[in-house]
Structure 1
Amino acid sequence: MKQRLLDELPIEILHILFSYLLAHEIFYSFLNINSYLDAAIVSYPNYQLNFQSISKYYFDLVCQHISPKRVIAITLSDDNDTCGQSEIFLSRFQIDQFVKLRSLTLIRIELKSLKYINLHLHKLDQLVSLTCDLTLNDSSFAIFQLGHWMKFSLVSTDLLSGMPLSHLHHLTIVQCSFKTFIIICNLARQLKTLDIELIGCPSNAVFQFEFVQLTRLILRNLSWDASMNDIESALLKLPRLRHLEISTSGLVDLADAYRWEMLSKDFVTLKFYFKIQLSSIEKTLASFRTPFWLIEKQWFVAYENMSFFTIPHFLQTHANEYFQLPRDSTCLNNAIVYEHITKSIFVDKIIKPDHRFTNVHTLELRNKTANADLAALPAVVDLHVVKTLLLPSSIEHKNVTFLLNNMPRLENLAINTSADQDFEDFFQENKHMRLENIHTLTICNQYVISNRYIASQLCHIFPRVKKLHVSVNRLDDMIILIDGFKHLSSASFMFKSLFNNDKQDLRQKINTIINGVYRFDGSCVRMWIENRMDISRKKNISNTSWTQRLEKFWHYLDFMLSQESPLSKFFTIFLIAYLHNIATQMWIYLVPYIVLNLFVCQTILGSSSFVYLSPIGSLFSKYVDRPSTYLFGYLFVYIIIIIGYIFSDEWKLMIADTVS
């Protein structure tokens, strides 16, 4: 029925629907359903490619079906979870093939790719929006033997040599030198939005903007000793400016409410952060409590730690149990401050504030709080919106269960370890859980995975993990994790020690395991994984395949024995009865003396045996899975049987003495 309804829609309506989706969403959802939808996909002219944090599968899907002439926006990222992406993309397409490209975003692009793109930018006649995060990887800086600031200056200036500044409308550059900024001001006269984070800005710099079309201006982290006269002079030739954000150091006259009111009458938004020292705090705040600020614009300011800023934009986004509202503020409604908090950290105890945190996406519990009573936590934080949870490995199992049951949107889990034993205990207490909602798993700090059983069980506990960040001791442990997490798209493995010779050997072995891209950052291996091959089919490590199959069966057995279902209970009873019968028959076969048989059967295999073996079994099961615990118990019985057979005469004399 749904397919027929889609067939009845005009292609124009389908194209409107496609305009709300990214390219990989369109291809994955509608491709190869029928010829009509395929025709709509082929004829759609405005594809947007956003490859930031994308899986390798979706990336390949887009590259296989996209037509460069129908793309209007591209986002490329060589960040840790998509390392080497730009090089792969540029090996498949020429940048000048995207003749209709209007928006280009480059995030932590490798220097080689950045230089190549720079050479062809001038060919993109329709490009009007350019965003560059020039926070390059350390390996990209190896070519520059210059100071810290010059690295960014050189990269930015080189980038400008091919940039079509004259017809750009939107420009964002993270970490831009002052020299580059001056070039932009002189050449990019058609800009409508400009977002710049300046570095190395002279304290006596003079800003003169002549952007007639500019409606939004964002200047971040200026080291500029600005005065109000400087601000007014800089904004004088921006007649269409409606949105201003600026953060800088400066003189005390930057807190002049009347001059800001005259300057910002036509503004829609005003956000500022000034490092200044006020002599009369209350008098200054009073000047910002006029109807213009509180009623007409609803712009509020605060002064804290020698900083004068608008709120809530420049307030910190995280809070602990001792969080306090800004003491010196013009804010009329504290709810906007609490809603601005997106991360909540509890260290020692849970204290209920005056208002509930309703927008916390990241929750972190530390130290004593992790093992305290969490019943009051939902009254402090809305757990239903939490997506990321950070826990210490020392947390009690009941608190883990409580948190998971009250966080329906939880996707990311990070476990902080202070000692190996803490994580071992955490693992044993929670190894029978199955958390299919966790997509990102991080085990940080001290714990190094060096146990094949724990590596395999992690794959069993978190079957839907897509991103993984852990420390490993051996290549084998990394292989088990890659092969075990079937949905893995990116991973970071921190090795305890990794030298250059080890890297070469590791590269060869990685190439036999995965189809993907990887990068070495010191002792860390970062991977963007295309798909996992079946390790048991690889000849160079085939000697471990039978152990992996045995472990897989063992973990399924362990999982079944730990469940509370009727099937699990029946299986457990059947297994115990079967092993009990084997032990009994073995005893009868080995010891023909009926009197001795009856006596020892009652002693070893009777109900009293549970009294003696229970403490040993409890200790054993704390560190080993259930099948191993059962096996240990019956091996213990077999050993006693053999001892009874060897020393049957001594048993006979002992029984005779007891009877007499």
Structure 2
Amino acid sequence: MIPSLGKQPIFILDSLPKEIIYTIFDYLWAHDILYSFLDSSAIINSIILTYHNYHVNFKSILKCLFDLVCCSIRSNQITSLILSDDNETPCQSKVYLSLFPIEEFINLRAITLSDIENDNRTSFTNIHQLKYLNYFETDTLSHLWMIETIPKLKRLIVNKISDHDYNHENLLCAISFFYLRNLTLPYCSYNNLRQILRSAPKLTSLNISLIISDCTGIDYFAEQHQEAPLIINNLTISIHTFTRTISRLLFERFLSRMPYLQQLELNVISGGSSNLLEGNQWKLFIQKHLPLLFAFNFKFKIINIDRNNYHTENILTQFRSSFWLNRNPAWYVAYDINDFILYTIPRFAPHTIKHSLLPILLHSTTLPAEQYFTYYNQINELELDANEKSSYQYTNVQRLILLITKIDENILDLSKVEFLCVKSVSWSLKKLLRIIKTSMIRLYHLKIDFSFSLLELSDNDSLAQIRILDLSEFIYSSKKEDYDLSTVFPYVERLTIRITSLLQMFYLIDRLMHLSSGSFHITNDSDNTKELSTESDLHKWFTEKTKRLRKNNSFTYRLDSQSGFWIRLWMNSEIERPKKVFYHYLIFIWRGFLCFL
């Protein structure tokens, strides 16, 4: 707000043309826009109502924000959509597509599917639109096949399907490939690949994982029989094979029809032939057939290697020529002599490392010694398993795993840590809280893998910064009333915990007022869990047992018995979050507006 000559203050965004607001919205998720700007002024509300380029991301979203999007945005205002049925948002896709059938998304240009349910696990979604009840008698994916009704879909990303037996060909058959430009699939057969390359004339970006289980499949992969060159400029392929090896010659036959490739990534996860290690031959092929290529990343897992012809120095010498190194950026490679893996740096450099491991060796990479920081800067997950001193520092660690009781802050910057997993039983909870408060200012996800007591803490010992809490490796079983997680972790939004009874689950649901996603592993309550799994009206059962779900029964859940007995809940928080405008966005907008003038 800014002062005005009158009594009513002026909202700063009201003075900007709506086209500028639209441009700012293009860079934000839909729930961020609504949470930050809705009801800030009548003018902004009008802009939100008329904006037609919403990017909706439901991955790991809080239930209250999901409801906010459902109540505020029409399906024809959405151009990109991410749906997820993972453990934090069970049955999400069913709920959303019951309210907004896929055929109504007439302006949708991109859709991402992650962990979409297509199995027989018990699940429930509480909605009041009875006209959609029959929809839940079938799985979500069958209705996503109606994706063919979207006239101009340009990007389809399928990150993971919950049911590994799902027939991907049915989904692919429903897609209109003509307008498709970007496609990502977690699994693709060589027949699917042939269909894609023949039916998608405008495809420029392809990211697929191939599993080839027979010899014929390898030949079919290499020989696609396209009459005209493909216009694909960005290609990522991962290959598993269990029969013949994947050779460089097969890749050459396949890639020779893609002269417009600019970015290429090859990942041979199993079954790589030794000739994949021949840098000089890759050089000749790229110079002749891929003249526009400026980014080439690979990771080759080699089997049956001939140690006489392919030893470390011999291999790396072929990648030290000017063709590989005199680029911006250079194409550096490294060779793992233990696992027989050749990979590019930094793309396939390890992101996870144990501190006790030996540092990178001079003869195992083409990366110059003075640039080894590039290798270590890739490390974002560090396992501290020893108190050894280090001559280098990990500068970008976001995930820290502790197997020791002492942290040497000289080897890493604790202020960047966002996830902490503590596995050493020697840690006291009081000491842990003190380190988090003083040094780990960005930490929001805490996992504790040992039994602890809250009785040693005082009323001032709490971690308001923790939003995700994982207590899956010890049993929460205390019967004392003062053993209260909500006092120590008052703002937890996502909880994973192992408990011994359903009564503990009800207690936690009612006490953790901000909880939106809960995964409860019940280990010693067979009588009640048996009753739960056979109960005909599960929704009624939940609302009778908890005050919170009785008060606000907009929730979904899934019963999962694949690895023990789990209950996954997705619900609204008990306390409404206050509306807050993103003031840093306002400053950015105002400065941009002044520059525009």
Quote the Cα distance in structure 2 between the aligned partners of 1:214 and 1:362. Answer: 36
2:394 aligned with 1:365: no
Quote the Cα distance in structure 1 between the aligned partners of 2:77 and 2:95. Answer: 20
Q: Give 1:400 shift.
A: 4.3
Report the AA paired with residue 566 of structure 2: C
2:271 aligned with 1:237: no
Provide the alpha-carbon RMSD of the alignment: 2.2
Kept in 2, the 8 Å contact 1:482–1:532? The answer is no
CA change 1:406–1:46 in 2 (3 A) is: same
Task: Map 1:550-569 to 2 at 5 A.
Answer: none
Quote the Cα distance in structure 2 between the aligned partners of 1:290 and 1:203. Answer: 35
- Of the three residues 398, 422, 436, the one matched with 1:391 is 422
Q: Structure 2 length as normaliser, TM-score?
A: 0.80
CA change 1:500–1:399 in 2 (3 A) is: closer
1:607 match = none
2:510 aligned with 1:483: yes
Kept in 2, the 8 Å contact 1:391–1:415? The answer is yes
Kept in 2, the 8 Å contact 1:45–1:71? The answer is yes
The structure that is helix-richer by fraction is 1
Quote the Cα distance in structure 1 between the aligned partners of 2:356 and 2:80. Answer: 45
Q: Which string of whole-angstrom CA distances, capped at 9 and with x for unpartnered residues, describes residues 481-527 of structure 1?
A: 11111111101011014443233457543134322101011110001
1:413 match = 446
**Helix, strand or coil for the counterpart of 2:108?**
coil
- Of the three residues 313, 336, 350, the one matched with 1:316 is 350
2:219 aligned with 1:186: no
Quote the Cα distance in structure 2 between the aligned partners of 1:336 and 1:52. Answer: 31
Q: Structure 1 length as normaliser, TM-score?
A: 0.73
1:605 match = none
CA change 1:236–1:65 in 2 (3 A) is: same
Quote the Cα distance in structure 2 between the aligned partners of 1:429 and 1:294. Answer: 57
CA change 1:415–1:431 in 2 (3 A) is: farther
2:361 aligned with 1:330: no
1:350 match = 387
Quote the Cα distance in structure 2 between the aligned partners of 1:196 and 1:451. Answer: 51
Kept in 2, the 8 Å contact 1:302–1:326? The answer is no
Rg larger in structure: 1
2:295 match = 269
Quote the Cα distance in structure 2 between the aligned partners of 1:9 and 1:115. Answer: 45
Q: Which string of whole-angstrom CA distances, capped at 9 and with x for unpartnered residues, describes residues 133-154 of structure 1?
A: 34315xxx7xxxxxxxxx24xx
Quote the Cα distance in structure 2 between the aligned partners of 1:11 and 1:228. Answer: 54
Q: Which string of whole-angstrom CA distances, capped at 9 and with x for unpartnered residues, describes residues 154-210 of structure 1?
A: x20111121112321110011333332332233223211111112244345132455
CA change 1:64–1:239 in 2 (3 A) is: same
Q: Give 1:216 shift.
A: 0.8
Kept in 2, the 8 Å contact 1:78–1:110? The answer is yes
2:592 match = none
Task: Map 1:139-178 to 2 at 5 A.
Answer: 151-152=165-166, 155-178=167-190
Kept in 2, the 8 Å contact 1:69–1:97? The answer is yes
2:290 aligned with 1:290: no
Quote the Cα distance in structure 1 between the aligned partners of 2:392 and 2:540. Answer: 56
Quote the Cα distance in structure 2 between the aligned partners of 1:495 and 1:430. Answer: 29
CA change 1:302–1:27 in 2 (3 A) is: same
Task: Map 1:96-115 to 2 at 5 A.
Answer: 96-111=103-118, 112-115=139-142
Quote the Cα distance in structure 2 between the aligned partners of 1:507 and 1:33. Answer: 36
Task: Map 1:467-616 to 2 at 5 A.
Answer: 467-497=494-524, 498=526, 499-504=529-534, 508-512=540-544, 513=546, 514=549, 515=553, 516-522=555-561, 523-532=565-574
Kept in 2, the 8 Å contact 1:450–1:474? The answer is no
Report the AA paired with residue 413 of structure 1: L
Quote the Cα distance in structure 2 between the aligned partners of 1:294 and 1:177. Answer: 35
Kept in 2, the 8 Å contact 1:203–1:225? The answer is no
2:74 match = 67
- Of the three residues 421, 434, 446, the one matched with 2:474 is 446
- Of the three residues 312, 315, 319, the one matched with 1:281 is 312
Q: Which string of whole-angstrom CA distances, capped at 9 and with x for unpartnered residues, describes residues 530-553 of structure 1?
A: 24499xxxxxxxxxxxxxxxxxxx
**Helix, strand or coil for the counterpart of 1:453?**
coil
2:98 match = 91
1:423 match = 452
- Runs of 4+ with >6 A deviation: none
2:388 aligned with 1:341: no
Kept in 2, the 8 Å contact 1:436–1:463? The answer is yes
Quote the Cα distance in structure 2 between the aligned partners of 1:443 and 1:288. Answer: 47
**Helix, strand or coil for the counterpart of 2:39?**
coil
Report the AA paired with residue 330 of structure 1: T
- Of the three residues 197, 201, 214, the one matched with 2:232 is 214
**Helix, strand or coil for the counterpart of 1:17?**
helix
Kept in 1, the 8 Å contact 2:80–2:108? The answer is yes
1:651 match = none
Q: Which string of whole-angstrom CA distances, capped at 9 and with x for unpartnered residues, describes residues 332-359 of structure 1?
A: 1111110111111122x22232210011
Quote the Cα distance in structure 2 between the aligned partners of 1:449 and 1:240. Answer: 61
Report the AA paired with residue 301 of structure 1: V
Which structure has more relative contact order (CA 8 Å, sep 6+)? It is: 2
Kept in 1, the 8 Å contact 2:117–2:162? The answer is yes
Q: Give 1:132 shift.
A: 1.2
Kept in 1, the 8 Å contact 2:333–2:343? The answer is yes
CA change 1:361–1:316 in 2 (3 A) is: same
CA change 1:76–1:136 in 2 (3 A) is: same
Kept in 1, the 8 Å contact 2:475–2:500? The answer is no
